[in-house]
Structure 1
Amino acid sequence: MSSKILPTNRGSLRRSGRNLIKLLGGKVINVPLSLIQISLAIHLLGDKGYGFLILIYSFTQTIGDLAEFQSWQTVLHYGLKPFEDNNIPLLQRVIRFSFFLDLVSCALALTISFFCAVYFNNELGWPNEWHYLGIIFSFTVMFTTSATSNGILRLLNRYDLIAIQSLVATLVRFCGIVFLTLVGGDIRGAVLVWMLAAFANFSSFLYFALTQLHKKNLLKGLFTHIKGGLSKDLPGIWKFAWNTNINMTFSLAFKQITTLVIGSILGPVSAGHYNIAGKIAEATAKPIVLLQSTLYPEMVRSWNSSKPSHLYKMALQITLLTGVITSLLFIVLPYIAFPLLKLLLHKNPAHDTLTLLYWLAGAELIGIWGMSLEPILITTGNTSGAIYARGITVLVFLPLLFLFIYQWEMQGVGPAAIIAAFVLILLQFFFIFKNKFFKHNQSKHFL
């Protein structure tokens, strides 16, 4: 058996590392441009205008993610083996199934987004004078369903194109906000720029994916040779797709939904400040977080091989390495947090914003130490364990979020995020070991 079919643990780590370097190449440009764009947007629009922009963006992202099936995981999970076996009809069936999920997600997201934007703008914390802008922006939810394109590029190991594509939206927003600054634009121009960025992000992803399929001779017959239904010879694909979608729905509570809750209770200014603090905390851990996305295909390869123990060895090595490195990196955060926030906000940051940043950075650090746990659950087919872990954590997090915000306002988000991060890791550990123990007992009973 060739090393391509049975990868060594070292080979998987090396391949994952190469893909990480490709992704980081895009972030080297993306991060500073994103920070400059935020600073210019706040200078142009003020705290309230920028906060509103973040609220409508978080709203469409939330609806899009809620409706979207995480079909990139489906493409990897079901498409890797037929791709390596050169089974083109089966691989095309996987891709076709995934594109179908994207279309359904798009239609559902657009319906929900428009309805909520029209009838629940006050609950979402949108200022009345800008309500119509939120309704217009709600149509960009159509451009949030790029999961299949993402999965295709991962499957074909084109992380370089993913890195290039990740720059598109940031470049559009950066160029747009620079132009608006020069001509004296306002919130309407900023909303238009953000809409153009969403469209450019979607269309570039789709273009790269279709181009690569064409180069691999996988595009011909993809949408014409349809026989036997969407899921023929793909046992369990519907269950896998539903489970990964539900899992992502739960994970939203830690990102976009938190922004919406803050905006609803405290207003757009607080939502904007939370967004900035969250972006800085995420940027500190971003290189390590990106590594998680490169682990999925390597874990699938290991699990499909005759030595699935490579999966657990690789996960342990990655966890120890990234956990130690990130812990060291976070030591420097207190020295850069204040000047960075001052640069972005164009004034000395409030004490609660600075404190929130440290809380959120702590939650990110905890998440890094558990980075490999969810990929293990999904790769080994224990998607229900991943769902239960996320679902229980959300049931803990959301009540704490509301309670702590009403008690301590924006600073209350931090303790809720820390507690939720600990709960999530403990639950994921529990379901991994429960699954292994159950399978071990089953094998002993069988023997």
Structure 2
Amino acid sequence: MSHTTTSPSNRGSLRRSGRNLLKLLGGKAVNVPLGLLQISLTIHLLGDKGYGFLILIHSFSQTIGDLAEFQSWQTVLHYGFKPYTNNDIPLLQRVLRFAFFLDICSGIFALIIGFLCAVYFGSYLGWPAEWHYLGIFYSFSVIFTTSATSNGILRLLNRYDLIAIQGTVANFTRVLGMFVLIYIGGELVDAVGIWMLAAILNFISFLTFALYQLHLHGLLKGFLKGINQGPTKNLPGIWKFAWNTNLNMTFSLAFKQITTLVIGGTLGPIAAGYYNIANKIAEAMAKPIALLQSTLYPEMVRSWQSSKPSHLYKMALQITMFAGVFTSLVFLILPYIAVPVMHLLLHKDSTPETLTLLYWLAGAELVLIWGMSLEPILITTGNTTGAICARGIDVLIFLPMLYSSIGYWGMAGIGPATVIAAFVLIILQAAFMFMRKKRNSVIQ
């Protein structure tokens, strides 16, 4: 196993990030239409209410999994980059063992909490009483949501092509399953089973790709040899980093699955389904650029650990300008495609309220794209506390605002609350970034 240890150049990092982005886009070029197709097929099979319920139990499972998951992919990159480039296999294996340990613990914890919450709180989540047992059954899928270490391994080894391939597994399984169920006349219980199968195959494919790449790089040989030396030897601060990145992701959930759960609990499964569809379209349009954030982390780690902070900030600025301008131009076409796309997915004309929500959510995505480099900078430079505080303050503002907006205006209140929260988040992240940068300048 040989690696280059030369300091990265700004142009080289951008090229490498661009190549990795193209690999991910190759997967998304398949995954986005697959995702929209599975929405259309599922609504055709189950109707608005059935689809909304399926989204609610899936969002519940993802929420519990994300809350429990330690985001160990960031730990793999942050602590694994130097031993990987220096060919220090024992230390790299220790990092990977620690990350897998986190995944196992979070998976067990998620399974217990998910099952208990499904049993006792399903009615508060907007689950119809007659389908409560299906929510309990689907809660077991949370154990298959902890694939962060596998993700980190593929990023560390620069195998974004495999990440792109793996990203299509779940949607392909759902699409194929929905086609079969429509043909044989399947029902909601069958659809829940298909979505459970998709979660299992998604987990297995991720783990298989990661382990096979470790084998090819000679990193599985003697993998358990140093296990008696303790999981964190020569890895100072790794527990703090793992906890901080986990807390940061916990707060970021407010913009994803938790929003769906709040809508389902207050407005019902049909409204949750409409929100999910509008959000999927907005995310799909921003996805090509949003994927840049996942390719930025390795390049930022290379820059920071090679003592090239000026390169890190310059690269982030270049990426942000390109991403913001490009996404702004792409979103100009949204008013021309929104109506036919929504009709295609819903099999009927969408309500003006749903279209308005789509435009608000697209605006929130655009705001977040303009701030996409801020969180990777905070985490890469070791300011995980700043990242947590920014997310935490934003959540404390967003959730009460979301509840009150829904209470006053119903579904029409979701969009403005989401856009305001997006602005608050990037302002806070920028403030914490500049404070850390200024403090580092004073120390130097």
- Give the alignment's TM-score, normalised by structure 2: 0.99
Tell me the distance in 2 between the aligned counterparts of 1:28 and 1:366: 23
Match of 2:130 in 1: 129
Match of 2:334 in 1: 333
Task: Show structure 2 runs of 5+ residues with no match.
Answer: none
Tell me the distance in 2 between the aligned counterparts of 1:218 and 1:61: 31
Q: Confirm or deny that 1:150 pairs with 2:158.
A: no
Match of 1:200 in 2: 201
Q: Which moved more, 1:320-329 or 1:225-234?
A: 225-234
Q: How does 1:39-78 map to 2 (within 5 A)?
A: 39-78=40-79
Contact 2:94 2:226 in 1 (8 A): no
Measured after TM superposition, the shift of residue 152 of structure 1 is 0.2
Contact 2:4 2:85 in 1 (8 A): no
Contact 1:5 1:301 in 2 (8 A): no
Measured after TM superposition, the shift of residue 408 of structure 1 is 1.0
Measured after TM superposition, the shift of residue 363 of structure 1 is 0.2
Measured after TM superposition, the shift of residue 191 of structure 1 is 0.1
Task: State the secondary structure of the residue aligned to 2:286.
Answer: helix
Contact 2:94 2:231 in 1 (8 A): yes
Task: State the secondary structure of the residue aligned to 2:227.
Answer: coil
Q: How does 1:6-405 map to 2 (within 5 A)?
A: 6-405=7-406
Runs of 4 or more consecutive aligned structure 1 residues displaced over 6 Å after TM superposition: none
Aligned residue identity for 1:216: H
Task: State the secondary structure of the residue aligned to 1:122.
Answer: helix
Q: Which moved more, 1:43-52 or 1:299-308?
A: 299-308
Contact 1:16 1:291 in 2 (8 A): yes
Q: Which moved more, 1:198-207 or 1:27-36?
A: 27-36
Aligned residue identity for 1:353: T
Match of 1:442 in 2: 443
Tell me the distance in 2 between the aligned counterparts of 1:436 and 1:34: 40
Tell me the distance in 2 between the aligned counterparts of 1:415 and 1:67: 29
Contact 2:5 2:86 in 1 (8 A): no
Measured after TM superposition, the shift of residue 436 of structure 1 is 1.2
Measured after TM superposition, the shift of residue 270 of structure 1 is 0.3
Tell me the distance in 2 between the aligned counterparts of 1:400 and 1:366: 18
Tell me the distance in 2 between the aligned counterparts of 1:3 and 1:340: 47
Measured after TM superposition, the shift of residue 3 of structure 1 is 7.2
Task: Show structure 1 runs of 5+ residues with no match.
Answer: none
Cα shift readout 1:240-261 (whole Å, capped 9, x = no counterpart): 0000000000000000000000
Measured after TM superposition, the shift of residue 439 of structure 1 is 1.8
* Coordinate RMSD, CA, aligned: 0.9
Cα shift readout 1:148-196 (whole Å, capped 9, x = no counterpart): 0000000000000000000110110010000000011010110000000
Aligned residue identity for 1:169: A
Q: Which moved more, 1:91-100 or 1:226-235?
A: 226-235
Measured after TM superposition, the shift of residue 4 of structure 1 is 4.6
Aligned residue identity for 1:90: L
Tell me the distance in 2 between the aligned counterparts of 1:180 and 1:349: 25
Task: State the secondary structure of the residue aligned to 2:126.
Answer: coil
Aligned residue identity for 2:82: K
Aligned residue identity for 2:93: Q
Tell me the distance in 1 between the aligned counterparts of 2:144 and 2:4: 39
Cα shift readout 1:240-298 (whole Å, capped 9, x = no counterpart): 00000000000000000000000000000000000000000000000011110000000
Q: Which moved more, 1:302-311 or 1:103-112?
A: 302-311
Aligned residue identity for 1:177: M
Task: State the secondary structure of the residue aligned to 2:124.
Answer: coil
Aligned residue identity for 1:254: F
Tell me the distance in 2 between the aligned counterparts of 1:85 and 1:405: 54
Tell me the distance in 2 between the aligned counterparts of 1:427 and 1:380: 16
Match of 2:413 in 1: 412
Tell me the distance in 1 between the aligned counterparts of 2:307 and 2:245: 25
